[in-house]
Every structure is written in structure tokens, then in C-alpha cells.
Structure 1
Amino acid sequence: MSTQQPTRREPEDNPGKDGRTDSPQDSSPSPGARISRRRLLGTAGAAGAAGLVAGGAAGAYAAEATRSDPEPLTSVGSTTVSFHGRHQAGITTPLQAHGHLVAFDLAPGADRKAAAALLRRWSRTAGQLTEGEAPPDDTGIALDAGPSALTVTFGFGRTFFGRAGLKEQLPEALAPLPDFASDALEAGRSNGDLWIQIGANDGLVAFHALRALQREARGTARLRWQMNGFNRTPGATGHPMTARNLMGQIDGTNNPKPSDEDFQRRIFVPATGEPAWMAHGSYAVVRRIRMLLDSWDHLSLERQEKVVGRRKSDGAPLSGGAEDTPVRLDKVNGDGSLAIAGAAHVRVAAPASNQGAAMLRRPFSYHDGFREDGAPDAGLLFIAWQADPMKGFVPVQRKLDLGDDLSRFLRHEASALFAVPGGCAPGEYVGQALLEG
């Protein structure tokens, strides 16, 4: 899981068309940005609210709880993330509170030309929505809300290329994922021709984007599956913290960081990569992983920590230190036992245990009600980003299959792999180099 960060997002390189450099994908509203109906209510209050989001918010929000007057948008609502840039947004963007994952299959008779028209429509609408603008024929679902860090990310599944007559452009890295021992996959909730990831810090804003894009797919693509997820809302803690999963564990401490020297090489396809249309893109592995929470919750705290290899309270490795202290896999306790057990999750998943294999995990939690036995149908919508799945997700998952204590409490029920091309400049659309090249 990716590290939870403040509402303001880290800048990214976003060179535009013809090699020029656009402004970074800053999360703050740009001074010259258009003020839409959705943003009009709150831009004046954004600066004052920023301090609340950074810290001390709990008391302030409690004091305001009994007010009946409408409040202006806070910095959470007014945050924008540009749709345009070298990379698509939603990959290194800080985790949002609400997410939708949706896959489509091309409708019978829909060809390459129809797919290009759809991606053109989708990109235009996503660009409007991420700026807080209502597209034509808007439903009004989020009319009075700000953009709330909305991101929309598009990808192509392996089956898309055959159906669109683009087999010669199929990337080698989009080969089917191998079977894993932990798989219990449902075909109807796996794979797909086209994929959209939507994230926002407001639930109505996220649903608004989902609805707008689904409407525009009519006649060209049919819904295959859809999943809904959530994370902690930015500003809900006294200071920025790594997110917790539904097992209560701090999750994402060991994620690659944009400041790492090899981050770009691990996560993004290079400009000279193959195929050429995937330059600056990435590959997303999507897995719906149900957690056996009833079984997990019955473990003692000590046992839970040994299964994971980190303290539950603060995420510090059992080899000592604080959350960000590097894990010492060679650390031995006074009785001669390994401080981090041989089958502990952090040991088995560590890059040092997998010839340096790493991926950027940026998931959402989910809860889809309860199963017939009363157990929660809940877990993780796992999304892993890497330049090559065979060097990122696949070797790590194979290692986890061989002996990870945490795997006994997980069920992998859906799986998909998508090629996510680089971003686009204003006036262009995502996938244009593929569909018009």
C-alpha cells in the first residue's frame, strides 16, 4: 500500500507536447484556473483550512459539528490534480479517500476507430472533471463540490488488441500472469479490454466521474466488472501517516519512493522502451484480495505482529527502530531466534528476498457486505505499478506463494493486468499514439 501523504501532492515531471515542460501536477488550485460552479463556493476558504488539514483538525471539526450554516470548501475539496502530463495521474498521486475500478469490453462491432473516439471522449471529460468543470449534459451529482483531488487513469487489457485489430502493438509485458497457488479467481471479475481507475477525496465526486465515463461508453464498450474502494480521508489524522489496511496494520512503509534513484526505472517504461506507444507508461496489476478477518482478529497481537514482521502500533520492524528504519533480516533475538520470522510477510516480500524486485503499491480497501456465514466480504483492491510485471509483481507473488504466513489469511479472487500508456498533452487523448500510430 502506498504511503498516505498530505492533501498537497508531490510535483511530477510533466513535459508537454514538443518537449516543453508543463507546470508540475501540483495539488493546489492554479492562480489562473477557471472558477466553475463546483469550485465557486470554496476557493476563498482553502488557505485557512490548510492548517486544519495539516494538524489539529480533530478539535476544530468537533467544535464545528453543531453548525447548520454551509461551510466553504476546505483545501480537501479545492485540490486539483492535472489530467495532463508526461505520466497519467493516479499512479504517484497520494492515496485518495474514495476509489472506483471499472473494466469494459468492446461491444460487438466496435473497432479501432470506435475505440479511438471513445478514448477521445473519455480524455476530454476526464480533463474537465479533474479541473472541477461540469461536462455537457452533466447530471449535477457533484455540482456543488470541488474537484477533491480527482484523478482518472486509463489502461488497455490484453484482449483489447485483438478486438481492435492491433495485435502487432501488443506489448510483451502484457503476457498473461501465471497461475499462483493462492488464486481462487472469478473470471467475470477479472481481466477486460479497457480499464479505468478513479480516485477522489469526496465520494460524490468519485461517483460523478464514474457515471459520466460509463455513460460515454454506451454503444462502444460494455461494463465487465466494477469495484469500489476507500482509504482514510486526508486530514483525518493529526499528522500525515502511512495508511492502515483492514487488518489494522500500517501498510506501505517499504514502497518505492519518487526520491529513490531508481524509481523511474522501476515504475515507468522509458522513453526508448518498446512498444513506442508505451513510453512513460506503466503496467498495473489489479487483484481483489479478500481478507479472512474473522480468523485474523482471533489471533493475539503478538502473533499478528510475527505474521507481518512489524509492530501494529507504529509499523516499526520487529528487528528494531521506527517505522522508516530499514528492516534487518539478519537480526537475531537473545534466544537465537530470528527477530523477523522466516515466513513473516515483510521478509518474504522484501526486495532483498526477490533479487531486488519491487513495485509501487497503491491500493484501496473494500467492504462489499457480509457472506452467508456472516464473515465480512472485505479486503484489499490491490493495485501494483511497475515498468515490467515480470520484474515486479510476478517474482514477488511467486515467493509469497512458497511460504508467506500472511497468505493463510488472504484469498485472491480477481486478477487483471493492464498496459497504462503515458499521459497526454492538452488537446490530445490517452492512447492516441497506439490508436492513431
Structure 2
Amino acid sequence: MSENPVRSRLRQLDAAFMQDPHSLYAELHGDGPAHQVVLPPDLPVCGGLPVWVVTGYDAVRAALTDPRLSTDLRRTDPLFAQNAPDSDKRGAFSASLATHMLHSDPPDHTRLRRLVNSVFTTRAVERLRPDIARLTHQLLDGLPDEGVVDLLDRFAFPLPIAVICLLLGIPPGEEVAFSTWSRALVAGGTSEAAAAASAELTGYLRDLIERKRRAPSGDVLSTLVAARDDEDRLSETELLSMTFLLLVAGHETTVNTLGNGVFHLMADRDQWEKLLADRSLLPTAVEEFLRIEGPLKHATFRCATECVRIGDVDIPAGDFVLLSLASANRDPRRFTRPHDLDVSRTTGGHLAFGHGIHHCLGAPLARLEARIAFGALLQRFPDMELAVAPGALRWRSSTLIRGLRTLPVRLHRA
């Protein structure tokens, strides 16, 4: 088969981009805010896909609120079918689990988000503080006083899963199976593994929803089921997809916020010592972790519904667009010394959780979990250190997610 003439003219991203996207972002942004590239070929589902990448704070922030850039699954899925070499692996996943508010435009988005908005307000989330603290200390109690552990596996991953399962009303013990499916779906593995996990998770969620229908228990999922049954505001597919979104997005942002934050603190020991000396810096430190290495490299896939001009470039209708949150958060025109971690940085306004109508619903929960978790780590393990050189750690191969595969640390309990 001859090479696609369009792809042959575009910049081909590779595995090196997955490990260090920041170098390329800085290079691209020197030439303007919009650039056409081809995604790395080994990415599941979207490997080899030609997309426009938007870089820089001002351009990304504006694009996040541009209604001409649609996240609607009914627009994006046909484009995957036309342009992504691996698109045949996508269909079942999209149909069963992806019809949620991240993949919808107004008015559908407005209706879907309204159903769960009240659950994730700062005031509502604050009521979870005692439970989050209890779960945090339970997990840290289970770590050895001395020795090397994978902090992702033993702490950063199970904590937010336990919290979101508690919030949604998932029975104790069932979160173990969910964590396995979640990793397969978001860890950047094979399309086959993701498809198998999608099928198993779909079956589990259908059964869970039916159990909540028979015996509601006052949790978020029971509320969503009641909205479906009493007010007919959610279709069965929307209910399934919304549950999936809350489960996955509800913990994935926190997993990476914790892991990425610990990584940067361990790689920049002075900042760890600064936090040890002044715990009042924790709130600003969490915002700095989100800025320097947020849980997402890019916002959700968008497609142009009409010609959109960004900088000096016209993006044609029907083209895919990725908005680089990571580039925006290291834009030197917005942040001084953007590649340096500074836990006392007061410049706010990072875009780690997005902006506009798709701003991350779970941001208050992720912030609270991170503040509690980092506070506990500082108290319990003040002499914690990386067990390997920072450059030896590998990042997950994902278009959207920015997170480490493992995080081996050497513990020394206080």
C-alpha cells in the first residue's frame, strides 16, 4: 500500500514524544499556536491519526471555549473511522461507554452535567474529608517502615479509586476488579486489552445499575438511576456512560496528580524540604504540581465544525484538534521559569483541569485528595526518596493522559 500523501507531509510524532512532550511543545510553539502532526503509530485506537495540535496559554484557553471545536461523539467517531488506521477497534467502546458529557456539546452537555454538578462542588466534596483522611492513613499504614515500594501501585492508584467507589456506592471489595479494568482502558496498552476490559466493565456496570435500581442507597449512582427512571432525563446508554466517566475520570486525575507531584518533588529535593519546613504551602504546591505536570497532556479530542483560524493557520472543517494543556501550563509568556517547580508560586490560572463548559467536574475532589495525601506523606515519610534516577522512569503511552508507569520510592518512616 502506498503512503498516505497527506500523512507523508506532516510531522510524525514518535515514542520519544510520549516520554518528553515538553521539548516538542516548546519547539512547535516558537512557530505559532497551531501545528499539524501525525500521532505515534503504536498508540491504541488513534495511532497514526493526523491532528492539529494547539499550543500556548492564550490560544489553548481560547480554543477550550470555542463552540466551533466540538467534542460530540456523533461528530468525532465518523472521523476516527475515516482517518485512524486502528479505528476498527474503537466502535464497541464508543457505543457502550463514551456517550457522556465529555463527548457532548450543548444542550446535551448542559443537561448531563446538571445532573451531577451538585455532587462535586467544593462544599459537597469537603464532607468527604474524614473519609479521605481515613483511607489515606489506612493505605500508608500498610506500607513498610523501610524499603522500596511502587508508590503508584500501593498508594496513588488505590486511594482515589477507594474514594470514588465510596462516593458512587460501589460495594466494598468490588473496587479491585474495577481497578484492573480501568488500568487496561487508560494505561495505553493494546487495543485488544482495552476492548476486552470495556466489555467486562460494561457488563459489570449494567449489573451494578440494576442493583441500585432494586435497592437504592442514597449514593451518587442511585441518584443517577432515579433521574433515569423518574424524570427520563438519562437514556440507558447515557446512564451507563456517565457511570463510567465518573468512575474513570473521578480517579484518573488524582492518580496522576499524586504520582507526578511526588516525582517532581523527589527530583527537586529543595522543594520537598521547603514543604517539610512550611506545610501551609500545600495548597499552592498542589496547584504547582498541576501546572508543571498535570494529569492530562491534552484535552478531549475535538473536531472543527467549520473553518477555524488559530494564529495564522486555518484549520479546515472536519479536522481533528488536540489542545495542549501541558504546553499552556509551561508557556513562558504566562509563567516565569515555567519548567521549574516552585511550591510557593502564586501565579494561578493553570489549565490542568481545562476551562469553560468542559472544566473538570472532579477538580475540587482531586485537589482535596491531593492536599490530604501530600500532607500525610510529608508527615509519615519525610525522608522518602526516589529509588531510581529520574530519567529511568517511563511515562504511559497515551494521547491524553500524562502519568508514570511506575514510581519506585525508598521509604524511611518518621
Fold match by TM threshold 0.5:
no
TM-score range, shorter chain: under 0.3
Q: TM-score, normalised by structure 1?
A: 0.24
Which of the two has greater strand per residue?
A: 1
Give the TM-score, by structure 2 length. 0.25
